[in-house]
Amino acid sequence: MTYPRRYRISILLALLLIFSIEGFAQTARRMREHEVQREETVYSISRKYNTSVERIYELNPWAKKQIKVGDRLLIPTDTATPTRVQERTHKHRVEAGETLYRITKIYGIELSDLLRANPGVTSSNVQVGMELNIPMRREEGSTTAAEIRDAEHKVDSTASRVASAPTRVLMLLPLTQGRRYVEFYEGFLLGMYDLKRAGISIQLTTLDVANIGTLQGYIATGQLADKDLVIGGVDEAQIRAIAEASGYSYYVVPFSRIDNLTPRAGRIILANAHSTDIIERTIPFFLQRYKGREVVFTRRAGDTEEAFVTKLRPALKKAGVSTRTITLGSEAPASLGSNTVVVPIGADRALAQATIALIGEQASGVTLFGYPQWQSYGPAFQQSLHKLNTTIYSSFFFDPTSSESKDFLTQYNTWFGHKIDNTFPKYSVLGYDLARYFIRSYATYGKNFVTSNVNPYNGLQLDLHLQPTQEGVYTNTRFYMVTYNSTGSIQRESI
């Protein structure tokens, strides 16, 4: 079901100069998903939805080879109405702990049908107390009095303030040079589609930035002029060039963090929280979380100490906390008490694994504290973190087991025909989060959105709360404490 990479690139470059989300969303809205059932064929599916085999193949070229149970097909909905079936809805009030994924399971409906019945509602903004339309399919002529009462039940709602003019977005990315930037762009498109469903009008211009010379050419010819949001720049030279350009309202730096930028006219937003700020705020969290425990640092000969540990040591000493350091592999296995938290001095995977092996031989109750990089070390490593009730700090965290994440992954795979890469952070999810936050904020609040009550925003992978750091420069101040519980669940806490 995966398209060749060159095929995806050609699609993106065909939209390179100006991409209108109006047309994109309308195309997507004329499709629905169908999950292939046992004994179904493309022909039988085409008959079910009153469309042609050719139309299905047009939207699903991979299906020409083979379809199997569980595959998801895109079906054109301009003619896709199953024979003799109508839809009515009744209301469901969201209760604490419920997600869209769980609600679909309660009623035995497709997520795509639930989203279609509730324009503007997504897994990220569903709230306790919200009333949702639940599509209930029935045969013609089978209406009951109860169905009519449910369908006629009215819901009070407050119309959101949405700008009538389109939000003008400029994307500057090396689309032909890196798969991760293509995934960022794809995730961004999904985020824009969600916003279009909520009534937000967007005009996206995407330019391929092969190098700094190409970027400077775009700046010189006025490509940044009159843009509400400029997003991109993948290295220091590009970021500084965009920051020092003029003509736009806001420049969002999505990947790298560069300090001491000099804005010429527009405002600059750094999406990544500063590492120094993260460490300084992680230390009091650590002292409170592990109050009364002994702290044991682990190291190997030649390991380099992380800045977090360098700052943690004096804070522990000042707080009167007992500490010691164990050098792995050069001394007899040390004994750890049950009231101990272990901290490797660095994020290296081999050091982490050696530390986990040491703890595995000790009394129960020992726990582990670690680093953002640990979330990228694979499923087996993650399972070992669960066994020790491990906590890490990180500016990014994507939990693929949450219902909201499952919704995103299903939609992404359906639209683009491939799974997201196992990177840290997940570039597709980052694009999705940034589109939903910044475009919605600008469309709703205009140029003053950085001081509006739209903050904070807790996305699938990134939490956002903007604070000024210097004249014309704002930075994200949010990050996560993530705990891998021994029960197998994951707790993500915004700090």
**Separation in Å, CA 390 to CA 80, 299, 306, 364:** 49, 18, 18, 13
Q: Which residue has the higher pLDDT, 257 or 84?
A: 257
**283-339 tens-digit pLDDT:** 999 999 999 999 999 999 899 999 999 999 999 999 999 899 999 987 666 788 888
Is residue 254 packed enough to be buried (19+ CB in 10 Å), middle (13-18) or exposed (0-12)? buried
Question: What is the dotted CATH code of the domain comprising 276-394?
Answer: 3.40.50.2300
Structure tokens of 189?
A: 């498109």
Which of 97-106, 133-142, 262-271, 381-390 holds the top average pLDDT? Answer: 381-390
Q: What is the mean pLDDT of residues 52-80?
A: 75
pLDDT at 449: 86
Label residue 43 by pLDDT band (50, 70, 90). Answer: confident
**257-272 tens-digit pLDDT:** 888 888 887 899 999 9
Label residue 13 by pLDDT band (50, 70, 90). Answer: very low
Q: Are 73 and 67 in contact (CB under 8 A)?
A: yes
pLDDT at 378: 87
Q: Are 459 and 437 in contact (CB under 8 A)?
A: yes
pLDDT at residue 107 is higher than 90: no
| Mean of all residue pLDDT scores within the chain | 81
pLDDT at 164: 56
Of the ranges 132-141, 171-180, 290-299, which one carries the lowest mean pLDDT score?
Answer: 132-141
End-to-end alpha-carbon separation of the chain, Å?
39
- Do the bridges between strand 167-173 and strand 202-208 make them parallel or antiparallel, or are there none, so unpaired? parallel
Q: What is the mean pLDDT of residues 103-124?
A: 72
The DSSP bridge partners found for residue 2 are none
Q: What is the mean pLDDT of residues 348-353?
A: 96
Question: What is the dotted CATH code of the domain comprising 167-274+405-478?
Answer: 3.40.50.2300
Q: Which residue has the higher pLDDT, 190 or 87?
A: 190
Q: What is the pTM of this model?
A: 0.69
**405-464 tens-digit pLDDT:** 998 999 898 888 888 988 889 999 999 999 999 999 999 888 888 876 555 577 999 999
Of the ranges 100-114, 138-152, 373-387, which one carries the lowest mean pLDDT score?
Answer: 138-152
Q: Using CA atoms, how far apart are residues 448 and 249, in angstroms rounded to an integer?
A: 10
Percentages helix, strand, coil for the chain, rounded to the nearest 5?
Answer: 40, 20, 40
Closest CA to 492 of 469, 461, 471: 461
Centroid of chain to Cα 114: 21
**217-243 tens-digit pLDDT:** 999 999 999 999 999 999 999 999 999
Centroid of chain to Cα 431: 7
pLDDT at residue 61 is higher than 60: yes
Q: Which residue has the higher pLDDT, 15 or 386?
A: 386
Q: Which residue has the higher pLDDT, 379 or 213?
A: 213
pLDDT at 71: 82
Centroid of chain to Cα 165: 27
pLDDT at residue 89 is higher than 80: no
Q: Are 28 and 34 in contact (CB under 8 A)?
A: no
Of the ranges 4-13, 153-162, 167-176, which one carries the lowest mean pLDDT score?
Answer: 153-162
CATH 3.40.50.2300 location in the chain = 167-274+405-478, 276-394
pLDDT at 140: 37
Q: What is the mean pLDDT of residues 78-106?
A: 64
Query: DSSP state, 136?
Result: E
Per-residue buried b or exposed e for 71-104, using 16+ beta carbons within 10 Å of the residue's own CB: ebbbbbeeebeeeeeeebbbebebeeebbbbebb
Number of residues in the chain: 495
pLDDT at 97: 66
Find where tokens 């405002």 sit: 267
Residues sharing a CB contact under 8 Å with residue 108, sequence separation 6 or more, in sequence order: none
C-alpha neighbours within 13 Å on the C-beta side of residue 342 = 33
The DSSP bridge partners found for residue 393 are 481
Cα maximum dimension of the chain: 80
